[in-house]
C-alpha cells in the first residue's frame, strides 16, 4: 500500500515526459520546414546576446519596475525548480524532504525561506500584471489579434502561477505543524520555521486531527507537482513557450546591424552584368524566386521566431504603421506564422507528407492569415526588432512588395511572379 503513491507518481511523471517530448518533436519538425540559414558564426557575440537578453532580461529593464517584476517571476520559475527537484526525488523514492536529511538544518530552512520569498514575489507580480491587463487595460494588450484565446492564455498563466505558489506555502505551513505532532509513521523531519509559510501555521495549529493536517500537506504537495506537470505540457501550446525558446532564439539571432541587407547573388550578378562590372560566363542561372508565399520559403530561424513570440505587443506599440492606424501589427504576423505552422503540423500528424500538407488550407500570405494590406504597410524601419525582448527579427520575416534590389531576401507576396 505504501508503494501506491510512488507507482502513481512514476506513471504520471512518465506520461508527462512522453506528452511533452512528443509535442517538442512536433514543434521541432514544424520549425525545420523552413529553409536553412547559417547562424554558427561570431560565437562570442551569440553567447553574450543569450546571457544579456534571454538570461539577463536586458530589454525588459527599459521599463525598470515592469522589468523587475518580470525578472522576479522569471527567477522564481528557475530557482523554485530546485524545490521541485526535491519533490520529484521524494515522489520517486518515497521519501519526504530528502534534502533536509543531507543539508544542515539551518541552511535547508534558509533555502526554503528563499524559495518562499520568490513565491510571494511571483504572486504579487502576477497580481500586478493581471491588473495591468484587465483593469488598467493597457492598449497593447487589447489589440484585435489579442481577442479570445490569446487574452485567455495570458490570464490563465498568471492565475496558474499564483495558485501554484499558494500550494507551496500551504504545503510548507502544514509540514511545519506536523513536525510538532507525534503519530505513527511520522517522517516529518524537524526543519525549523520558514519565512512566509510560518504566518499560516497559527491557522492550522488549531486543527487537532493529524489526519486532516496530513491531508492538507499531501494535497498541497500533489497539487503543486501535478500543476507543474500540467503546466509543462500546456506551455508547449502557449505563448509562454518563450520560457524555453528565448535562449536559443537570442543565441541564433541576427547579429548584423539592423539596417543591413543581404544581396541576392542572382540579382547582384544581373546588376553587375548590366553595368559591365563582370563578364558573362555563359552559365545559365537557376530560376529565381523572390520573397515568400508560405512558411517553407522562410528560414528555420524565422519559424523559431514565431514560436518564441511572447505576444507582449512591444513591437506593435512601437510600429509607426500601427500607430498611424494601419492594419499592420508585427505581433500578429508572428502569431499568424505560428498558427500556420500549427495547421501544417496537424496535417502532417494525420499522415500527410510535407508537400501534401502545404497544399492544404490557405497559404501564410492570404486574407486568412497575413493580408496584402498588412504587408504593404511595413516601412522596414526595424522599430519592432529593437523593441522585441527575445530578439525576433521581423525585418527578415516581414516586408512590403517593392524593389527587390532594396530588400533582397525579405518576404514578398506571390514568389516567382
In this structure, what C-alpha cell is assigned to residue 27?
A: 514543434
Residue-level pLDDT at 76: 83
CA-only gyration radius of the chain, Å = 26
203 exposed, middle or buried (CB, 10 Å; 0-12, 13-18, 19+)?
exposed
378 close to 328: Cβ distance less than 8 angstroms: yes
**pLDDT value, residue 403:** 31
What contacts 157, CB < 8 A, 6 or more positions away? 235, 238, 240
Asked if 294 and 363 count as a contact pair (C-beta separation under 8 A), the reply is: yes
Distance (Å, whole) CA 382 – CA 145: 21
341 to 83, 378, 393: CA distances (angstroms): 36, 22, 18
Bridge partners (DSSP) listed for residue 172: none
**Signed CA dihedral, 389, 394, 395, 396: sign only:** positive
Q: How far is Cα 292 from Cα 298, in angstroms, rounded to an integer?
A: 7
| Spatial separation of the C-alpha atoms in residues 219 and 231, rounded to whole Å | 17
The C-alpha atoms of residue 415 and residue 417 are separated, in whole angstroms, by: 6
Helix/strand/coil for 344:
helix
Q: What residues pair up with 299 in beta bridges, in sequence order?
A: 35
pLDDT value of residue 391: 92
Sign, CA torsion 31/36/37/41 = positive
CA distances from 154 to 90, 123, 196, 239, 310 (A): 32, 15, 27, 8, 10
Task: Give the integer Cα–Cα distance in Å for 171 and 134.
Answer: 30
Is 168:117 a contact under the CB 8 Å cutoff? Answer: no
> pTM for the complete prediction?
0.86
CB atoms within 10 A of CB 274: 8
Dist CA 335 CA 369 (whole Å): 9
C-alpha cell recorded at residue 388 = 522585441
How far apart are the C-alpha atoms of 15 and 304, rounded to whole Å?
Answer: 26
Pairs from 281-288 (Cβ < 8 Å, separation ≥ 24): 287/416, 288/264
Helices assigned H by DSSP within 32-189: 43-49, 64-93, 98-102, 105-134, 149-178
Burial of 97 (0-12, 13-18, 19+ CB in 10 A): buried
The answer to whether the beta carbons of residues 72 and 414 sit under 8 Å apart is no
Start-to-end CA distance of the chain, whole Å, equals 71
Tens digit of each residue's pLDDT, the chain (417 residues): 468 889 999 999 999 999 999 999 999 999 999 989 888 899 999 999 999 999 898 999 988 988 899 988 888 877 887 888 999 999 999 888 889 888 998 999 999 999 999 999 999 999 999 999 999 999 999 999 999 999 999 999 999 999 999 999 999 999 999 888 876 456 788 888 899 999 999 999 888 888 899 899 999 999 999 999 999 999 999 999 999 999 999 999 998 887 777 777 777 877 888 887 777 776 666 666 667 889 998 999 999 999 999 999 999 999 999 999 999 999 999 999 999 999 999 999 898 888 888 888 888 888 889 988 898 898 888 899 999 999 998 654 444 333 332 333 333 334 333
| Per-residue model confidence (pLDDT) at position 360 | 86
Are the CB atoms for 190 and 96 separated by under 8 Å?
A: no
Amino acid at each position: 500500500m505504501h508503494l501506491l503513491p510512488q507507482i502513481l507518481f512514476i506513471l504520471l511523471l512518465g506520461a508527462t515526459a512522453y506528452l511533452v517530448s512528443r509535442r517538442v518533436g512536433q514543434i521541432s519538425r514544424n520549425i525545420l520546414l523552413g529553409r536553412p540559414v547559417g547562424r554558427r558564426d561570431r560565437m562570442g557575440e551569440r553567447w553574450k546576446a543569450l546571457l544579456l537578453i534571454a538570461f539577463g532580461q536586458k530589454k525588459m529593464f527599459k521599463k525598470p519596475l515592469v522589468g523587475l517584476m518580470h525578472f522576479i517571476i522569471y527567477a522564481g520559475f528557475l530557482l523554485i525548480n530546485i524545490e521541485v527537484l526535491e519533490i520529484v526525488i521524494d515522489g520517486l523514492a518515497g521519501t519526504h524532504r530528502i534534502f533536509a536529511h543531507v543539508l544542515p538544518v539551518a541552511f535547508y530552512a534558509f533555502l526554503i525561506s528563499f524559495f518562499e520569498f520568490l513565491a510571494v514575489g511571483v504572486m504579487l507580480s502576477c497580481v500586478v500584471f493581471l491588473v495591468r491587463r484587465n483593469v488598467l487595460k493597457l492598449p497593447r494588450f487589447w489589440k484585435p489579434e489579442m481577442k479570445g484565446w490569446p487574452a485567455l492564455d495570458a490570464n490563465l498563466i498568471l492565475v496558474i502561477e499564483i495558485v501554484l505558489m499558494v500550494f507551496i506555502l500551504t504545503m510548507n505551513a502544514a509540514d511545519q505543524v506536523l513536525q510538532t505532532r507525534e503519530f505513527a509513521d511520522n517522517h516529518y523531519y524537524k526543519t525549523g520555521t520558514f519565512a512566509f509559510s510560518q504566518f499560516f501555521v497559527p491557522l492550522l495549529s488549531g486543527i487537532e486531527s493529524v489526519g486532516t493536517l496530513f491531508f492538507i500537506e499531501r494535497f498541497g504537495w500533489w497539487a503543486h507537482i501535478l500543476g507543474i506537470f500540467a503546466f509543462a505540457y500546456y506551455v508547449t501550446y502557449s505563448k509562454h513557450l518563450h520560457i524555453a525558446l528565448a535562449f536559443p532564439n537570442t543565441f541564433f539571432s541576427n547579429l548584423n546591424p539592423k539596417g543591413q541587407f543581404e544581396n541576392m547573388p542572382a540579382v547582384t550578378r544581373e546588376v553587375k552584368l548590366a553595368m559591365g562590372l563582370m563578364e558573362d560566363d555563359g552559365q545559365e542561372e537557376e530560376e529565381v524566386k523572390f520573397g515568400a508565399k508560405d512558411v517553407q520559403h522562410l528560414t528555420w530561424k524565422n519559424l523559431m521566431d514565431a514560436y518564441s513570440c511572447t505576444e507582449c505587443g512591444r513591437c506593435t506599440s512601437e510600429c509607426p504603421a500601427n500607430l498611424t492606424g494601419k492594419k499592420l501589427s508585427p505581433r500578429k504576423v508572428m502569431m499568424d506564422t505560428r498558427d500556420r505552422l500549427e495547421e501544417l503540423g496537424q496535417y502532417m500528424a494525420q499522415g500527410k507528407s510535407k508537400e501534401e500538407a502545404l497544399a492544404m488550407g490557405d497559404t501564410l500570405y492570404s486574407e486568412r492569415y497575413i493580408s496584402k494590406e498588412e504587408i504593404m504597410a511595413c516601412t522596414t524601419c526595424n522599430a519592432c526588432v529593437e523593441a522585441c525582448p527575445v530578439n525576433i527579427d521581423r525585418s527578415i520575416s516581414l516586408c512590403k512588395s517593392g524593389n527587390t534590389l532594396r530588400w533582397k531576401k525579405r518576404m514578398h507576396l506571390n514568389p516567382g511572379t
